Each structure stands twice: as structure tokens, then as C-alpha cells.
């Protein structure tokens, strides 16, 4: 197989939108959408850091795509297109590529998106870089910098599950049953970002951020000009993670600083909570109030009214 046969056999079928020209040109041409802003984000996942060589290729593809869809959701955008840059290990097989593109096809169908183009190359380790595009009505993209004193702080889904799955792969001792173990591993391999919920936050959230590097680290992006206080007992964690790590403050701190969650943390006025809950219910997800916004700067974490020390707020690549 060479680059062009790989594109023709495996990726051209994913480029169904006319804007992609069947991947037979050097670029895509996206028609303008009057009344909308285009929201663009990009993320890369690499073998050994974000996934393992033994992970099913379909799940690797879905993780690469979904970590970008999580960013779009946090900005209130509806996803539409994506570009894919793929580094393939030497000796990659047709079976690997078939599984990988099957994973992309499933998510394209689920999220209503289409491939526009990209690039392929060879290397010692696999790496997948996705650039995703979505749309919001003009001027409505959710930003990081809008939180105000008096707002409440919310987070979607549960926090720490992916880190639990990674800990299992690293052979951390546990007494989990099969269902609990499978739940945590699945969350590590395939994120479940609240894509359908993102658009519902427009007009409700004052600030919003994708939770990827750790809940506390990412809330820090919202707290550049305000003070955010998080009550760790309110942070939502799955039954599987609680069975694994327990309910002690140290276990909760581990969950909220680990990263790889791909949920949305946001701030909003307390009087809008019923509308937020209704939007979450319509999107089929959970949302939890975990703290408050006040005057000042930075993030404070408390447990039963006492401030907890957080040695490291989240994951850092370097």
C-alpha cells in the first residue's frame, strides 16, 4: 500500500460532502454560511501518551475525533467537518486501517460530520491529529473569560473515569467487578463528550471550557479574573471510580487533577439552573453544580469548608 491507495481505499469513502471533492484535490472549499461564525479547533493524540499500541484501532480513531468535538461543544458549536493528519507505524495492515476508518464512520454518522481532507505519513509510532470545524450563530461562541462574581460553577458527566481506566492498564491493584473495570477502560479509550449539550449552553453559560487537562487546571482558565471555589464533595464521580479509589479527599483530588475527561466545565447565573438542567436532560447527559464564583483570582478547592492543598492542578505534556 502507498499513500494514495490508502486514501482512495479507506478515507475517500468518508469524504461524502461535496466540499471535499472526494479527496481528489489539494484543498477543500467550504461555502460560507451567512449568519454563522466558523469555530475551529485541533488536537493530537499519540501512541504511548494518549493510547496504547494494543488499543482497538476503531477506538483510537474515535478518541482522536471526540477530543476535538469536546472542544467544539464547550464553545457552543455544532460540529460539521474535520481534517485528519495521520502518522502510521511501519507495517500497518489493511485490517488496522479498516478498523480505524470504521470507527471514524460510526462517529461521523453519530455526530453528523464529514471528512474534508488531511495527510498521511509513516513513523515509528502512530499519531493522529484532527482539526474540527463547527458553527455558531454570529457572535455567540462561548469564551473562557466571561465568568462573573455570583455565578455558579457546573460540570457535565463524571470526572476521573479515564484516569481510572489508565490506572488499570498500568496494573494498579483493584477489587473491581468486571462491569466496573470495563466502564473505566471504556472511558479511557473512547471519551463521551456532551456534544449535543454544547449548543444548549449558548445564552446560558457566561464562560465555558473543555475539561481535558484536569478539572482544576481547566477551571483555572476561567479564573484568570475571578475566584472560583470548588467543593470536592460535589464533584460527580462514577460508582466504578468510587469503588476503585474510594471517597477520601485524596482520591477526589486525584480524579479532579488527572485529566482526559472531555467534559464541559462552565459558569452561569444561579437563577438559570432549571434551564441548564432541562438542556442537559434534553441532551441525555447529567450536569452538576460544584462551586461558586467570587471576587479575586484563581481556583480554591474545599472539603467540608476547609481549603485543600492541590500540589498539581492537572496534566502537563512538558
Name 120's bridge partners. Answer: 86
Residues 48, 52, 58: CA angle, nearest 5 degrees = 130
Distance (Å, whole) CA 183 – CA 205: 30
Tell me, yes or no, whether 296 and 188 share the same domain.
yes
Q: Where does residue 164 fall: left (phi above 0), alpha (psi -120 to 50 degrees), or beta otherwise?
A: alpha
Lowest mean pLDDT among 22-31, 65-74, 303-312: 303-312
Tell me, yes or no, whether 131 and 159 share the same domain.
no
Joined grid coordinates for residue 94: 489493511
Interacting residues of 145 by C-beta distance below 8 A, sequence separation 6+: 207, 222, 224, 225
Domain that holds residue 162: 152-308
Task: Quote the pLDDT of residue 318.
Answer: 63
pTM above the 0.85 mark? yes
- Say how many Å lie between the first and final Cα of the chain, rounded: 35
Joined grid coordinates for residue 225: 479574573
% helix, strand, coil for the chain, step of 5: 40, 25, 35
Tell me, yes or no, whether 259 and 158 share the same domain.
yes
Tell me, yes or no, whether 239 and 101 share the same domain.
no
Interacting residues of 305 by C-beta distance below 8 A, sequence separation 6+: none
Tell me, yes or no, whether 168 and 130 share the same domain.
no
The H or E element containing residue 67 is helix 57-74
The residue with cell 469513502 is: 13
pLDDT tens-place string over residues 209-257: 999 999 999 999 999 999 999 999 999 999 999 999 999 999 999 999 9
Task: Quote the pLDDT of residue 172.
Answer: 94
- Tell whether 143 is covered by a domain: no
pLDDT tens-place string over residues 54-67: 999 999 999 999 99
The residue count for the chain: 318
Beta strands in the chain (DSSP E): 36-46, 78-89, 114-123, 127-137, 152-156, 205-211, 227-231, 263-268, 287-294, 298-303, 306-308
Say whether 206 sits in a helix, a strand or coil. strand
Say whether 1 sits in a helix, a strand or coil. coil
Q: For the chain, how many structural domains are there in total?
A: 2
Say whether 237 sits in a helix, a strand or coil. coil
pLDDT reading at 1 higher than 80: no
Tell me, yes or no, whether 121 and 238 share the same domain.
no
Domain's final residue, options 137, 162, 195: 137
Tell me, yes or no, whether 169 and 274 share the same domain.
yes
pLDDT reading at 315 higher than 80: no
Q: Where are the alpha helices (DSSP H) in 117-271?
A: 161-169, 178-189, 195-198, 215-222, 239-245, 249-258
Joined grid coordinates for residue 103: 470507527
Q: Mean pLDDT across the stretch 144-156?
A: 97
Tell me, yes or no, whether 112 and 171 share the same domain.
no
- Residue 298 DSSP class: E
CATH number at residue 181: 3.90.650.10
Count other Cβ atoms within 10 Å, centred on residue 14: 19
pLDDT reading at 317 higher than 90: no
pLDDT reading at 279 higher than 90: yes
Burial of residue 49, with CB atoms counted within 10 A of its CB: 0-12 exposed, 13-18 middle, 19 or more buried = exposed
Task: Quote the pLDDT of residue 174.
Answer: 87
Amino acid at each position: 500500500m502507498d499513500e494514495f491507495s490508502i486514501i482512495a481505499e479507506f478515507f475517500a469513502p468518508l469524504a461524502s460532502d461535496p466540499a471535499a471533492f472526494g479527496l481528489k484535490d489539494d484543498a477543500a472549499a467550504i461555502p460560507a454560511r451567512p449568519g454563522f461564525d466558523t469555530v475551529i479547533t485541533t488536537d493530537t493524540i499519540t501512541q504511548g501518551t494518549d493510547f496504547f499500541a494494543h488499543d482497538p484501532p476503531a477506538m483510537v480513531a474515535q478518541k482522536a475525533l471526540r477530543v476535538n468535538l469536546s472542544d467544539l461543544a464547550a464553545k457552543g458549536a455544532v460540529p460539521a467537518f474535520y481534517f485528519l493528519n495521520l502518522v502510521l507505524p511501519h507495517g500497518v495492515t489493511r485490517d488496522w486501517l479498516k478498523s480505524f476508518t470504521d470507527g471514524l464512520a460510526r462517529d461521523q454518522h453519530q455526530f453528523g460530520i464529514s471528512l474534508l481532507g488531511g495527510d498521511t505519513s509513516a513513523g515509528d509510532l502512530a499519531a493522529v491529529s484532527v482539526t474540527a470545524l463547527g458553527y455558531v450563530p454570529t457572535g455567540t461562541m462561548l469564551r473562557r473569560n466571561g465568568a462573573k462574581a455570583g455565578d455558579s460553577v457546573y460540570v457535565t458527566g463524571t470526572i476521573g473515569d479515564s484516569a481510572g481506566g489508565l490506572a488499570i492498564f498500568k496494573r494498579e491493584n483493584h477489587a473491581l467487578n468486571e462491569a466496573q473495570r470495563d466502564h473505566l477502560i471504556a472511558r479511557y479509550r473512547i471519551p463521551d463528550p456532551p456534544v449535543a449539550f454544547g449548543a444548549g449552553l449558548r445564552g446560558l453559560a457566561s464562560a465555558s471550557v473543555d475539561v481535558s487537562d484536569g478539572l482544576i487546571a481547566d477551571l483555572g482558565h476561567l479564573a484568570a479574573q475571578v475566584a472560583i471555589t470548588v467543593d470536592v464533595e460535589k464533584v460527580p464521580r462514577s460508582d466504578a471510580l468510587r469503588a476503585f479509589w474510594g471517597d477520601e479527599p485524596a482520591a477526589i483530588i486525584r480524579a479532579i487533577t488527572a485529566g482526559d475527561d472531555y467534559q464541559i466545565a462552565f459558569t452561569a447565573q444561579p437563577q438559570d439552573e432549571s434551564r441548564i438542567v432541562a438542556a442537559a436532560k434534553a441532551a441525555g447527559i447529567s450536569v452538576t453544580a460544584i462551586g461558586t464564583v467570587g471576587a479575586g483570582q484563581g481556583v480554591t478547592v474545599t472539603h467540608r469548608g476547609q481549603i485543600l492543598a492541590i500540589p498539581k492542578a492537572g496534566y502537563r505534556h512538558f
